[in-house]
């Protein structure tokens, strides 16, 4: 039996399957929200992503390279509603594994149901204004 693909790659594909193409900024917010909520409920974060935290913004170390190396995910150009053109990532096909443990899938669905309704600024605030995020920043 082949080794199971890392959860982080399956998560990216699962998110893109639900949301459609996304900029790395938004993907990183979904993932940290998921990690914070998983830690709140289960005592530890879910992924192995390395977050570089600041008081009002953060990023995932080497995230664009990670996305580009994820099978089934491609870089595209996306035009935002306000007319800006920027890079984004999209699911190329459904042939790659995006299966998640049931409890992770449920948690991700809960987060995406709320997060996808938010614009970029609101999404960032939804993550960085959490008390658990502020506690992590204070620890660094």
Q: Where are the domains of the chain?
A: 7-139
Sequential DSSP letters for 21-45: SB-HHHHHHHHHHHHHHHHHHHSS-
Sequential DSSP letters for 69-80: TSTTEEEEEEE-
Average pLDDT over residues 45-58: 96
Average pLDDT over residues 24-41: 97
The mean pLDDT of the chain is 94
Count CB-CB contacts under 10 A for residue 13: 23
The answer on pLDDT for 2 being more than 70 is no
Percent of the chain at pLDDT exceeding 90: 86
Q: Which helix (H) or strand (E) holds 109?
A: helix 102-115
3-state secondary structure of 91: strand
Q: What is the pTM of this model?
A: 0.93
The answer on pLDDT for 1 being more than 50 is no
Average pLDDT over residues 117-134: 97
């Amino acid at each position: 039996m082949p080794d199971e693909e890392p959860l982080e790659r399956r998560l990216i594909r699962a998110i893109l399957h639900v949301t459609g193409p996304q900029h790395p900024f938004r993907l990183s917010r979904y993932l940290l929200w998921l990690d914070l909520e998983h830690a709140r409920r289960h005592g530890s974060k879910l992924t192995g992503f390395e977050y570089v935290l600041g008081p009002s913004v953060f990023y995932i170390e080497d995230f664009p390279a990670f996305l580009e190396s994820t099978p089934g995910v491609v870089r595209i150009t996306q035009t935002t509603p306000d007319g800006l053109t920027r890079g984004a990532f999209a699911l190329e096909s459904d042939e790659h594994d995006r299966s998640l443990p049931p409890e992770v899938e449920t948690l991700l669905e809960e987060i995406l149901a709320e997060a996808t309704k938010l614009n970029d600024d609101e999404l960032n605030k939804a993550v960085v204004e959490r008390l658990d995020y502020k506690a992590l920043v204070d620890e660094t």
